[in-house]
Structure 1
């Protein structure tokens, strides 16, 4: 029997109207939006369906909106009886992955997201940080360029063999971009206003850690692949500390995918808005069966192939 892994989208994948088609197909997902409204005090359904790109780009909105849309896609999988043996998420996506693996309840997932988004938004407003995706260059070479630049800039997201994101002070990011351009490499500025997964997020990590001490966590019911370790997370004895460390640690997505490939997973199914992770899997695991579930068309295509 084929082995399925569910992947969950990260920040930056949001777009107006996300999740609308899936809710029309599976009205049971309405309870997800109601839970979000109860805990967050904001109408996530209206924001996801009718919010502007600018509204959705705010960290305090984009994080719960993407989390919600990922859970709506997960609900569609469960309604169709699609089994899964493992989960993984890219950065923010680890929170939907935790819900899917039974590490936290949906309600506590929203409480975590509420505190995380608020802490990260506040931190972003206090810094002049930025991020860029560097294309077509080895991660080790990217690190050398970063080290040669005045100011703080480091590799933070190891997305695929052909793409690594860097983060740091905006001025240092600009200098690094000039260096990459001189080497003939493309450096794409990301639509974020902070240096996520770098030491510049330490104030957010500290604030977040203090707020989540009372939230209960359980042992994963599915294999949970970790951004921090690059492999299966087995020790969940201190998840608040893990999640705080996650904010200031690199995302080792290439290592995670390599570990999944070695573990024999057949189908990689991205749940959430857009298809960013779908592209990263294709670049990392040649020949893998990759699907993204964000609307009726992509859902039906996945069901036809996986149920085949």
Structure 2
């Protein structure tokens, strides 16, 4: 089958994630160990037992999700599965870059650890947060945002009718009643900072220097951009996608539109959780979308591909 591999971002961490994979696959356990050494923590223990708050710490969560996602992609590759394209939501773009060969694992791991630490530094200085807005029409709540003198921005367009705002928490709290009065459903995200906003300008500049110094390779399959869903097929195009990525909104609606134009049969969420599977089906309900977060899901995916191969032979 022609599938796009989708890689999750921060927020998909959960104590117990990857237990079976880390127990049964030595390569996965080794990657987790190396990731923990770079952070200076027992990452496997945190992934297994938490506590939840420690696992959710910015640098820990990002490194853990990256390590588990890349390890899962490696397992699928050893079983003969190949994507026709890849895409990641925010942090997930680094996992996607490894899966398509644009970055080697160790380079990407170093970048992810540095990214998490830089973002943590900002979160320590800035009283920020994120607020999800669900509404059938963007018009009413967008008018409230546009009229407000506030340090609040659109950070993610996750699906039609689902947007995430980010900014200073006092400004978000002040806007909350007016946004709710438009009929939008609001929910606070359990994250430590105002990601994908200009508040990360200094951290982004420091991180971009690391991105420029990294060795980028021609991808073996395209990567779909977060900014506009374009199909990126050359090393320099991918590098440009990541420069300033910490500041730009994630337009997952555009990414999914780009996926839909590839004529694929479905998508595989490679890593913990099922968030991207759900978002993909909201926009492209005709596609077959599957997860890989549990052993049962991975076995079902592999069994389905083996059945398809037998039917075609």
Contact 1:147 1:153 in 2 (8 A): no
Following superposition of structure 1 onto structure 2, how do residues 107-256 of structure 1 map, counting pairs within 5 Å?
107-139=106-138, 141-234=140-233, 236-237=235-236, 242-256=241-255
In structure 2, C-alpha distance between the alignment counterparts of 1:240 and 1:14, rounded to whole Å: 26
Q: Which runs of 5+ in 1 are unaligned?
A: none
Distance 1:38 1:169, change over 3 A: closer
Q: CA deviation at 1:184?
A: 2.0
- For residue 300 of structure 1, what is the aligned residue in structure 2? 299
Q: CA deviation at 1:213?
A: 3.7
Contact 1:149 1:172 in 2 (8 A): no
In structure 2, C-alpha distance between the alignment counterparts of 1:101 and 1:61, rounded to whole Å: 24
With normalisation by structure 1, the TM-score equals 0.93
Deviation by residue 1:46-84 (Cα, 9 ceiling, x = unmatched): 221122110011101111011011112112212321121
Contact 2:57 2:192 in 1 (8 A): no
Contact 1:139 1:158 in 2 (8 A): no
- Structure 2 residue matching 1:230: 3-state secondary structure: coil
With normalisation by structure 2, the TM-score equals 0.92
Distance 1:81 1:140, change over 3 A: farther
Deviation by residue 1:7-35 (Cα, 9 ceiling, x = unmatched): 00110110001111122333332221233
Contact 1:158 1:252 in 2 (8 A): yes
In structure 1, C-alpha distance between the alignment counterparts of 2:280 and 2:158, rounded to whole Å: 9
In structure 2, C-alpha distance between the alignment counterparts of 1:206 and 1:26, rounded to whole Å: 37
In structure 2, C-alpha distance between the alignment counterparts of 1:142 and 1:19, rounded to whole Å: 39
Q: CA deviation at 1:301?
A: 2.5
In structure 2, C-alpha distance between the alignment counterparts of 1:154 and 1:66, rounded to whole Å: 25
Following superposition of structure 1 onto structure 2, how do residues 82-101 of structure 1 map, counting pairs within 5 Å?
82-101=81-100
- For residue 260 of structure 2, what is the aligned residue in structure 1? 261
- For residue 311 of structure 2, what is the aligned residue in structure 1? none
- For residue 78 of structure 2, what is the aligned residue in structure 1? 79
Contact 1:39 1:107 in 2 (8 A): no
In structure 1, C-alpha distance between the alignment counterparts of 2:237 and 2:205, rounded to whole Å: 15
Contact 2:225 2:255 in 1 (8 A): yes
In structure 1, C-alpha distance between the alignment counterparts of 2:192 and 2:50, rounded to whole Å: 19
In structure 1, C-alpha distance between the alignment counterparts of 2:296 and 2:65, rounded to whole Å: 19
Counting matched residue pairs gives: 307
Contact 1:19 1:72 in 2 (8 A): no
In structure 2, C-alpha distance between the alignment counterparts of 1:212 and 1:277, rounded to whole Å: 26
Distance 1:256 1:305, change over 3 A: same
- Verify: 1:48 aligned to 2:75, yes or no: no
CA RMSD, 1 decimal: 1.8
Q: CA deviation at 1:140?
A: 5.0
In structure 1, C-alpha distance between the alignment counterparts of 2:62 and 2:2, rounded to whole Å: 29
Contact 1:8 1:88 in 2 (8 A): yes
Q: CA deviation at 1:270?
A: 0.2
In structure 1, C-alpha distance between the alignment counterparts of 2:127 and 2:238, rounded to whole Å: 29
Deviates more, 1:93-102 or 1:209-218: 209-218
Deviation by residue 1:224-258 (Cα, 9 ceiling, x = unmatched): 01112321124532766642411000101111111
Q: Which runs of 5+ in 2 are unaligned?
A: 308-313
Deviation by residue 1:60-115 (Cα, 9 ceiling, x = unmatched): 11110110111121122123211211100000000100000101110001110111
